[in-house]
Structure 1
Amino acid sequence: MSEINPSQSFASAQGPQKNYTLPLVAMTTLFFLWGFITVFNDLLIPRLKAVFDLTFFEAMFIQFCFFGAYFVMSLPAGLLVKRFGYKNGVVSGLLVASVGCLLFYPAVAVHEYWLFLGALFVLASGVTILQVSANPYVAALGPAKTASSRLNLAQALNSLGTTVGPIVGKFLLFGGSAALVTEAASADSVKVPYLMLAVALLSIAVLFAILKLPVIEEHTEEHDCKAKGQPLAEAHHLVFGVLAIFFYVGGEVAIGSFLVNYFGEASIAGLAEHDAAPYLAYYWGGAMVGRFIGSAALQKVAAHKALLFNASVTIVLLLVSINSSGAIAMWSILAIGLFNSIMFPTIFTLAIDSLSSLTSKGSGWLCLAIVGGALVPLLQGYIADTIGLQFSFYVPLLCYGYIAWYGFNFPKLLGHWKARLAS
């Protein structure tokens, strides 16, 4: 039931190369699962907006409560992982997330918006623990120089979940037809998918409790390393990477959150909710394709250069969508998914570069920054209510501007940390 010590079950550094295939396969299932869970928020927003007659700003509290959990839970999750290990962190995250899914049942029964928000917060707390556990663990299961490639491959499975989610969600939340439903039935449609997710999460938690996974020796406090005792705030590539994660998640989530309503605008596509929902699969599917491509490309291309390129193209696509209409505005913003693809895993692996035993703590900082998914959509919702939905996309555009800056300046930021370690 406990994690395996590499000295017991894996060859030493002088022996044959360690085989991490089974642990990697196991961890990628988690990436698929939380991608599937997270994308359901994009469908909940228009559904609960209609059910409770919410403004855009009020509807964005769905993302605020979900991604706000990252801010509250990331540091405790980092401490949990450091104390009990990656495997126990994964099992804990799965159990907490399953409780959050089960809480949708009383939320539907009482029919109160705040109960849905509370259930989302608990669900996201579990997902936060999974993120803090899984991202650095996957990055460490192999050579450091291919960490970005490896994490992009895992994140591609995350994108598969976000691609399948809208297709499944269309039928579970919107009935798969244009038929009008009553307010009570609209809320009731939320219950079934989350109960199904609860069963899946509990089942996978049992499997991970049984599964034997290797310990990453370099990420334990006992392992002697130069990073031990260094103030983490001096790792400028991490500190500015935290901001990059904040703006990336904020920008990505803000765009996804408004797509169904954006495509309902008469000047864009004039689509009803049930017709617009499947188009989310193009946005998240583009991210999946891009991550498979990125996993191969990052074997040869410097990660910070790829990040700079993708952020720059995303800025251009947003400018096109904001300043056009019809099919051009619609497909240019959907194409952003392709270029979003490598950003999160690439920023993550760049930010934890050379942290050694401080990696789990740095991972907690980075997951803390996922709170950008709570705050940026809220800001965009306020602007959409006051100025207009299309103009509000300047908010994520500014986010990607910062990401481009981080990619451009990364070598200098990392060099500062390495110089400190060498001194």
Structure 2
Amino acid sequence: MKTNKFIVALVLVTFFVVSFITNILGPIFPSLVADFDISLALAGFLPFSFFAAYGVMSIPAGILVDKHGEKPVIIGAFLLAFSGSLLFALLPTFTMAMLSLFCIGMGMAMLQVAINPLLRVVGGEENFAFYSVSGQLLFGIAGTLSPIVFSYFVTELNAPAANGFTSVAQSVIPSNMPWLSMYWLFAAMSIFMVVLVSKVRLPKVSRNDEEATGTFAVYKQLLSNKQVMLFFIAIAAYVGSEQGIANFMSLYLQQAHGIDPLTQGAGVVSQFWLMLTIGCVLGLGLVKILDSRIVLILFSTAAIAALCFALFGSVEVALIAFPLTGFFLSVMWSIIFSLALNSVKAHHGSVAGILCTGIIGGGLASPLVGLIIDLTGNLKSGMVVVFVLLAYICSIGFWAKPLVANKTIKLFNKRATPVS
């Protein structure tokens, strides 16, 4: 099929929007805790409500795409994100925050399921790897920009009243909750994407074996497979590690070092996502010269070390070490996913659905971290959860036995000794 560059661009923009909306929880987290006056354990259920929806919707989204096609699912996903964002912007309460994040999470899950096979078709199978990496890079760029935009909006809205956009925003957004401006922005972005996608004719996608949704019997069989369940836990461990660090780093820097979460704290979260993106690019090169299990062991060990420096070092060290954890987390998702798929002979689409459902488990890390902090009164103690999760990820490099190992390049070819 001929490459449709406009639709490829549309899919890549969708990757950007998904990340821009998803990765705002970290910088907003301290504001949610302060403005709703809630415990850290309760606050942890905010990211959980998002990732629970993400996990719950992954398999049903695949069924919806199979039955109705990509376009209705993509439009429905953005309508859910629009509804959730507008609901919270208009009714900023803790209950509405939970419901809003659940709606947005369902929308993001539907988008992730729909756009990857679509990208394979519109970009051409021979270009799929290139466009997939491009999508992940845009995902990382959006995650980097989102906290910066958040910090800009908050700063502008806290300034004296001005003409134009700022004055309109100040009349709509409560003065004590300037961070709500992001949810108005999310609503605007979502409705813009609804209009854009509705005007585009998308091609029919024939899903290959790896993308097909399995039957109930297939899922039952896979759920009894020990390897599949171990990798399910691994995905939960990765999401738990990523969110445990991303959501609590700004709060930790505020309480331990007096860093303003709305400006410098948001900047550190932005650097975290930037380093995660850079690490992803460099990680692609590493898995070409090393077994992916070795890369996983090295990076998970380095992530544990970086987190130790972030928690027990000075403020100068913490400001460097927290973003570095993002760099070392970067390769984990893709390596865990590839090892899992390469550890089973068939039903890769169903395995992928089960793995994505593991995101629910990862969402539990935030309330668990918060609960430990509330019980002990020590921010560092909550990070014990993250250390345990990273240790489990490290263990994968020792027990994983993929049927197909990643292909590596031999840097030094030994010449055969000529026979005399």
* TM-score under structure 1 length normalisation: 0.79
**Where does the alignment leave 5 or more consecutive residues of structure 2 unmatched?**
161-169, 406-420
How many angstroms apart in 2 are the aligned matches of 1:258 and 1:115? 22
Q: Secondary structure at the match of 1:186?
A: coil
1:241-256 equivalences in 2 (<5 Å): 241-256=231-246
1:53 matched to which residue of 2? 37
The answer on 1:160 being equivalent to 2:141 is: yes
How many angstroms apart in 2 are the aligned matches of 1:363 and 1:20? 27
How many angstroms apart in 2 are the aligned matches of 1:347 and 1:145? 23
Seq. identity, %: 28
1:6 matched to which residue of 2? none
1:72 matched to which residue of 2? 56
1:305-344 equivalences in 2 (<5 Å): 305-344=294-333
2:268 matched to which residue of 1? 279
2:100 matched to which residue of 1? 119
CA shift at 1:56, angstroms?
Answer: 1.4
How many angstroms apart in 1 are the aligned matches of 2:134 and 2:289? 15
Question: Quick check: 132-141 or 254-263, which moved more?
Answer: 132-141
Change (3 A) 1:273 1:323: closer
Q: Is the 8 A contact 2:27 2:269 kept in 1?
A: no
Which of 107, 110, 135 lines up with 1:129 in the alignment?
A: 110
How many angstroms apart in 2 are the aligned matches of 1:200 and 1:229? 36
Change (3 A) 1:229 1:322: closer
How many angstroms apart in 1 are the aligned matches of 2:5 and 2:347? 25
Change (3 A) 1:298 1:83: farther
Q: Is the 8 A contact 1:163 1:285 kept in 2?
A: yes
Question: Quick check: 207-216 or 152-161, which moved more?
Answer: 207-216
CA shift at 1:273, angstroms?
Answer: 2.2
Question: Quick check: 249-258 or 355-364, which moved more?
Answer: 355-364
Which of 17, 22, 30 lines up with 2:14 in the alignment?
A: 30
CA shift at 1:160, angstroms?
Answer: 0.9
Q: Is the 8 A contact 2:147 2:270 kept in 1?
A: yes
2:396 matched to which residue of 1? 406
CA shift at 1:259, angstroms?
Answer: 1.2
Q: Is the 8 A contact 2:299 2:328 kept in 1?
A: yes
Question: Quick check: 342-351 or 257-266, which moved more?
Answer: 342-351
Q: Is the 8 A contact 1:159 1:288 kept in 2?
A: yes
2:104 maps to a residue whose letter is L
Change (3 A) 1:221 1:384: closer
2:383 matched to which residue of 1? 393
Question: Quick check: 203-212 or 112-121, which moved more?
Answer: 203-212
Q: Is the 8 A contact 2:271 2:323 kept in 1?
A: yes
Q: Is the 8 A contact 1:260 1:273 kept in 2?
A: yes
1:17-416 equivalences in 2 (<5 Å): 19=3, 24-108=8-92, 112-135=93-116, 151-173=132-154, 175=156, 184-187=174-177, 189-209=178-198, 210-213=200-203, 215-219=205-209, 231-233=221-223, 237-266=227-256, 269-274=257-262, 275-353=264-342, 358-387=347-376, 388-410=378-400, 412-414=401-403
Q: Secondary structure at the match of 2:244?
A: helix
**Where does the alignment leave 5 or more consecutive residues of structure 1 unmatched?**
1-9, 11-17, 417-423
Change (3 A) 1:139 1:404: farther
CA shift at 1:314, angstroms?
Answer: 0.8
Q: Is the 8 A contact 2:85 2:104 kept in 1?
A: yes
How many angstroms apart in 1 are the aligned matches of 2:279 and 2:6? 24
Change (3 A) 1:92 1:357: farther
Change (3 A) 1:341 1:178: farther
C-alpha RMSD of the superposition: 3.6
CA shift at 1:172, angstroms?
Answer: 2.2
CA shift at 1:151, angstroms?
Answer: 4.2
CA shift at 1:402, angstroms?
Answer: 1.4
CA shift at 1:250, angstroms?
Answer: 0.9
CA shift at 1:389, angstroms?
Answer: 0.5
1:160 maps to a residue whose letter is I
1:4 matched to which residue of 2? none
2:59 maps to a residue whose letter is L
How many angstroms apart in 1 are the aligned matches of 2:5 and 2:290? 24
Aligned length: 388
Q: Secondary structure at the match of 2:255?
A: coil
